[in-house]
Amino acid sequence: MTAAVASLTVFPSAVALVSALAGLASLINALELLWLARAGTSTHARSTEAPAMQPRIVRHLRDRRAFAIVLVMQCGAAVALATREGAVWAAILMFTTYVSALRLRGNVNGGSDAMLFTVLGGLTLARLDAAPLFWREAGFLYIAAQLVLSYLRAGVAKAQHRAWW
């Protein structure tokens, strides 16, 4: 079996697996924020900027219902990403993840939200059927490179401290 043939058979399965995992992570993220909002916990970080200085979308998302719509859209797109084909679901999840970060003035769960955004970006390209295989594989390679470099960097930083040994 040549490398090109092996790539054609393994690539769709790998993309499907990462799509399912990213969909699950996005679903958990949206459900967590919906639960926090329902429990009465603030899902809105206080802003020190004057309202006129904030992007218009952030001002609209101050309304709890508007943000809840975004989160419900994220839930639907997360399930679709895990169960359907097409790049649109990953692109929608990138949008909702970005909008959540704008509303909350940063990531909810630290680096995992930023990594999820990176994975969704690579998946958008990897799932784009109109793109040549080279570019779809490049999107998937981007995910792999970011994951390895991010966790390698964190591991090296932790290894320098005696408490981790």
pTM for the model: 0.79
Q: How confident is the model at residue 51 (pLDDT cuts 50, 70, 90)?
A: low
Q: Which two tokens stand for residue 138?
A: 């490049």
**pLDDT at residue 50, rounded to an integer:** 46
**pLDDT at residue 158, rounded to an integer:** 87
Nearest to 103 by CA among 23, 35, 37: 37
Q: Give 54-77 pLDDT, tens digit per residue.
A: 567 666 777 788 889 999 999 999
Q: Give 119-139 pLDDT, tens digit per residue.
A: 999 999 999 989 999 999 999
Asked if residues 43 and 29 have their Cβ atoms less than 8 Å apart, the reply is no
Nearest to 24 by CA among 107, 99, 116: 116
Q: Give 68-123 pLDDT, tens digit per residue.
A: 999 999 999 999 999 999 999 999 999 999 888 877 776 666 678 889 999 999 99
Q: Give 22-49 pLDDT, tens digit per residue.
A: 999 999 999 998 998 787 665 555 444 5
- Tracing tokens 């679709």 back to the chain, one arrives at 80
**pLDDT at residue 7, rounded to an integer:** 56
